[in-house]
Amino acid sequence: MATERTKDWLVDVRRDLHRRPEPGWCEFYTTARIVEKLEQMPVAVTLGPDLLDADARQGVPDSATLSEWLNRARETDADPDLLDQMEGGLTGALATLDRGDGPTIALRVDIDGLPRTESADDGHHPTAEGFRSVHDGHMHACGHDAHTAIGLGVLQTVAESDFEGTLKVVFQPAEEVIGGGRPVAEGGHLNDVDALFAVHIGLTYPTGTVVGGFSDFLAVAHLDMEFTGEGSHAGAHPNGGRNAVQAMATAVENMYGIARHTDGRTRVNAGRVGGGTASNIIPEEAFIEGEVRGGTTELREYMRRRVTQVCESAASMHDCSVSIEEGAEAPSAESDEELVDQIARAADANERVDSIVRRDEFRGSEDATFLMKRVQERGGLATYLGIGTDHPGGHHSATFDVDERSLPIGVEVISDAIRSTARDLSE
């Protein structure tokens, strides 16, 4: 049972991280802070460079962006040596608690923020309480600050228990760009894992509810399209150019119009677009940073094929060329019944939990699926569980916040499930 001391500690950790949200592969301050906490625990720490298969990273920003965020971190009290080691975006960490013989259990939490401006409204709790994001345009709008705090709390709680075996907690970077799951999976540190838990807070569940396992993750793929035409003076020679913005707009309109599929859910988004240089020049360049998803990998590939076709045709329609770079992607995955059981039993035994949902459909995508599949392919088990939390604004919105009462619930339920899973697997 988590004490009030634990709760206060979790809240402090979470708020500290909340004030400094960092985008994927730029979690320099966040990782340093995690490592500082880990150094106070009986665990071995593996930092990003040794945790990740660096070449398998997806969605790494350009070096100017990486430098900018590293410099921001250097302006804090974070350990400069740690920061230096992460140069180039080798963020994230793994903590290993070795308690002798017994199964290897893993917990995965993600640590990155989102490119979104946090509400400055007084009614927004982080603003009122003074821990609103100090990084304009960036925000922990999906609760990864809470995930990180829970990961640290679970380590501490399990370390203080009679747990036998090995516990690995992965503090994974770059989930929002589905960038960190693959390099962690490829890094090899999960190859010996017998049971993997991954956790998300909130979603559609209030404080007091626990979800044993999610299924039906949407497979996802990012697609970056660059349209190239030719500039011209818009007044004097409107026909002299080849209009890349017109090509892009045609592509956007028709991407959203790709036919729904009889076999299940499909998604498409032109999430960030731009083009042109000045109002009086026919735009020479334009881009779409987009994504496609599907209820299955096949459905995602249907969307990818069609988006590609739409963009190529839109380019040729306006005499432009287009280059399409395939970005980060993640597969679908399922939660194993045995671990769903473990979570459900732990939740059932917890007095702060008032509602248990065994399984639900996950409506989005997650690169935790890379970790789940890696463990499952090697004979281990995996579940992606949910810890409900009241949140006034929706996920990814400017007013998102978590109910901090859910932090100790998460720590307790997951710690208990880890311990009982270790016991059951030892038998």
**Which residues inside 102-121 make contact with a copy of itself, applying CB under 8 A?**
114-116
Contacts of residue 423, defined as CB under 8 A and 6 or more positions apart, other chains included, come to none
| Count, residues near a copy of itself per rule CB under 8 A | 77
Burial class (CB in 10 A: 0-12, 13-18, 19+), 122: exposed
Half-sphere CA count of 229, side-chain side, radius 13 A: 30
Of the candidate spans 41-49, 84-92, 151-159, 307-315, the one that interacts with a copy of itself by CB under 8 A turns out to be 307-315
Residue 240 sits in the site that holds a copy of itself (CB under 8 A): yes
Q: Which two tokens stand for residue 372?
A: 């789940």
Among 81, 123, 279, 379, binds a copy of itself (CB under 8 A): 279
Among 71, 237, 323, 349, binds a copy of itself (CB under 8 A): 237
Of the candidate spans 186-194, 208-216, 218-226, 371-379, the one that interacts with a copy of itself by CB under 8 A turns out to be 218-226
- Judged by beta carbon, residue 12 or residue 68, the one nearer a copy of itself is 68
**Following DSSP, what letter does each residue of 333-369 receive, concatenated?**
----HHHHHHHHHHHHT-TT--EEEEEEE--S--THH
Contact 290, 270 (CB under 8 A): yes
Of the candidate spans 94-102, 183-191, 227-235, 415-423, the one that interacts with a copy of itself by CB under 8 A turns out to be 227-235
Q: Looking only at residues 46 through 105 of this chain, which bind a copy of itself when binding is defined by CB under 8 A?
A: none
What is the helix (H) or strand (E) element at residue 250, kind and residue range? helix 244-256
Contact 176, 114 (CB under 8 A): yes
- Judged by beta carbon, residue 3 or residue 279, the one nearer a copy of itself is 279
Among 74, 233, 348, 378, binds a copy of itself (CB under 8 A): 233
Q: Determine the Cα angle at 219 with ends 204 and 173, to 5°.
A: 75
Among 126, 143, 181, 283, binds a copy of itself (CB under 8 A): 283
The torsion defined by the Cα of 121, 123, 129 and 130, in degrees rounded to 10, comes to 0
Residue 274 sits in the site that holds a copy of itself (CB under 8 A): yes
In Å, what is the CA distance from 333 to each residue of 63, 220, 330, 363?
Answer: 33, 12, 9, 12
DSSP 8-state symbol, 56: G
- Judged by beta carbon, residue 49 or residue 115, the one nearer a copy of itself is 115
Residue with tokens 């697997």: 425
Contacts of residue 30, defined as CB under 8 A and 6 or more positions apart, other chains included, come to 17, 20, 22, 91, 111, 112, 148
Q: Looking only at residues 334 through 393 of this chain, which bind a copy of itself when binding is defined by CB under 8 A?
A: 363-365
The pattern of x and - marking residues 324 through 343 that bind a copy of itself according to CB under 8 A reads ---x----------------
Residue 231 sits in the site that holds a copy of itself (CB under 8 A): yes
Measured from the CB of residue 197, what is the shortest distance to a copy of itself in angstroms? 21
Among 282, 339, 402, 409, binds a copy of itself (CB under 8 A): 282
Among 272, 325, 326, 354, binds a copy of itself (CB under 8 A): 272
CA pair distance 413, 417, nearest whole angstrom: 6
Residue 42 sits in the site that holds a copy of itself (CB under 8 A): no
**Following DSSP, what letter does each residue of 289-324 receive, concatenated?**
EEEEEESSHHHHHHHHHHHHHHHHHHHHHTT-EEEE
Residue 266 sits in the site that holds a copy of itself (CB under 8 A): yes
Residue 270 sits in the site that holds a copy of itself (CB under 8 A): yes
Which amino acid, one-letter code, is at 375?
V
Residue 313 sits in the site that holds a copy of itself (CB under 8 A): yes
| Closest to 400 measured CA to CA, from 146, 173, 174 | 146
Residue 241 sits in the site that holds a copy of itself (CB under 8 A): yes
- Judged by beta carbon, residue 111 or residue 195, the one nearer a copy of itself is 111
Measured from the CB of residue 103, what is the shortest distance to a copy of itself in angstroms? 33
Among 127, 161, 254, 321, binds a copy of itself (CB under 8 A): 254
Measured from the CB of residue 319, what is the shortest distance to a copy of itself in angstroms? 7
